[in-house]
Amino acid sequence: MHESKDLSNAAVNYALTPIGQMLRRIYSEQDLVLAQMIMDEDLRDLSSSELAAVVSSLVYESRRGEGGGDGSFPGGTDGSIAISLQACLGSRARISMLCDDHGLDTPKELDFGMCRVIYEWANGEDLSVVLRDSEMTGGDFVRNAKRLADLLNQIAQVGTFFKDAESLSKVAKQAARDVNRGIVAYSGVD
C-alpha cells in the first residue's frame, strides 16, 4: 500500500528569488540574455542614450540578415558603448552555452545595426538626420524604437528587485523617454 502525502498540510514556502522576479517582468525574445546582462552589470554606468544604443542590439534585426552593424559605434572602439557591447556579447555567449548544454534553442545573435541611429535619436536628433546614412525605412525605425522603449521600461523596473540596480533603473526610465518621442510617441505602431 502506498502512502499519499497531503501537500496542503506541507509547510513549504515557495517564493521567487529577485532574479525570478526580474524575469517575470521582462517580455522579450532575449529575456535570458537581458537578465544575464543585468546580472553581469554589462549595462552599468551608461548614459541614457548609450543605454538605448546598447539595448537596441536586443530588439533590432536587420532585414537582409546581415546583422552586426558595421563595427563603428558612437564613442569609437574604446568608448562606453563598444565596451558595454563586448560585455553583452560575453553574457549572450554564456546563455548560448547553457542553452546548448540543455538542448534548448540558442538566443539570436545581437544585432548592432541600429546602435548609431538610436544613439543619435535618443540625443534629440531629427528623424531625417538619424536615417540619412542608413538603409532603414522610417517605418522600420518606428517599429524598432517602440519595441526598444518598451524593453527600456521593463529594465526600469529592475531597481525594485536589486538595490545595486537602482541607478540602472533611473537611466533606463530616461532612455525610454528619450526614445519614445516625436513620431515614435505619436505612432500607433507596435
For position 120, which CATH number holds?
A: 1.10.3380.30
* Residue 11 maps to a domain: no
* Residue 7 maps to a domain: no
Structural domains in the chain (count) = 1
Alpha-carbon distance of 133 to 117, in angstroms, equals 9
* Residue 9 maps to a domain: no
* Residue 12 maps to a domain: no
Low-confidence ranges of the chain (pLDDT < 70): 1-12, 64-71, 163, 189-190
* Residue 2 maps to a domain: no
Residues 89 and 40 sit within 8 Å (Cβ to Cβ)? no
Domain limits for position 101: 28-184
Residue 66: what pLDDT? Answer: 53
**DSSP state for residue 71 in the 8-state scheme:** S
DSSP collapsed to 3 states, 23-70: HHCCCCCCHHHHHHHHHCCCCCCCCHHHHHHHHHHHHCCCCCCCCCCC
